[in-house]
Amino acid sequence: MSTGIVKKKFVITRFDPDQDEVPKTQEYEIECESHWKVLDAINHIKDEVDASVSHRWSCRMAVCGSCGMMVNGEPTLTCKTALSSYGDTVVIEPLANFPVVRDLVVDLDGFMHKFKSVKPWIVRAKEEAASADLTEKGTYAQSPEQLAEFKQFSMCINCMLCYSACPVVANEPEFLGPAAIALGHRYNLDSRDEGEGERNEIFRGEGTVFSCSFANECSEVCPKNVDPAAAVNQAKFGAVIDWAKKLVLPRGGA
């Protein structure tokens, strides 16, 4: 009876900023169980073979988005991807288009700045001008149809695979990027939100929605089927309509 054990070679990028000027690779040949995900193999190498290997992971349920890496040249959520999808040699690198902190760990500070810039939260004018009348505060009702307008774009887990796949990010590091735009657009579509005008001002800025070339690579690699490419194009349209309204309508007009 088959034991379900297969032998594979892993070629892992190694980089220690305190010792290395440029990244290098290191090979590990290990026995893997046939049901393993890619992350299981990396964890085995870390736990049983070489404790110096650095990588990032958390939930192992395709929810936290922490374990994104390049696997055989493709941005991949390693906890979700079956090891059996690959041949005898598996090449694992840090996500492309990000500064490398160490080995397979990348620096996400740049993304977090972009993420915050689109105000990914519900903006309410009444909350900004807080009323003393407590009766005005409470739950904002929303119908299933209103939820359906933005639900797809709310599924983003910030795994950064879309940034790693995006050719615009590769050439223009300041590009706001697929995930940040999709999340900003998600709140523009939310019936409870009143911050659309502020976000559209951001979207019309340099290095934002109009920098997108619609390669669609971001949607191809998204593990949650968010379709950030669609969000970017809808955000383009919304930003233009918002600009046109401001030209036609008087200030404060409706």
**Amino acid 146: pLDDT:** 96
Closest CA to 238 of 207, 209, 206: 209
**Amino acid 137: pLDDT:** 60
Place of tokens 């998204």: 222
**Amino acid 247: pLDDT:** 81
Report if pTM > 0.75. yes
Q: Please name the helix (run of DSSP H) or strand (run of DSSP E) that holds residue 164, with its range, or none.
A: helix 161-165
How many Cα atoms within 13 Å fall on the side-chain side of residue 219? 16
Question: If one looks up domain 109-248 in CATH, what number appears?
Answer: 1.10.1060.10
Are domains 5-106 and 109-248 of this chain identical in fold? no
Going from the C-alpha of 162 to that of each of 4, 92, 123, 147, the distances in angstroms are: 33, 17, 26, 24
Q: Please name the helix (run of DSSP H) or strand (run of DSSP E) that holds residue 25, with its range, or none.
A: strand 24-33
CB atoms within 10 A of CB 83: 22
Distance CA 33, CA 151 (A): 37
CB-based contact 3:33 (threshold 8 Å): no
pLDDT profile of the chain (254 residues), mean per 10: 81 96 97 97 98 97 97 98 97 98 97 96 73 59 94 96 97 96 97 95 94 95 97 95 82 54
Strand order in the sheet with 24-33: 24-33, 5-14, 89-93, 68-71, 74-77
Distance CA 130, CA 175 (A): 35
Distance CA 89, CA 136 (A): 62
Fold of 5-106: Ubiquitin-like (UB roll) (3.10.20)
Place of tokens 């694992």: 92
Domain residue ranges of the chain, discontinuous segments joined by +: 5-106, 109-248
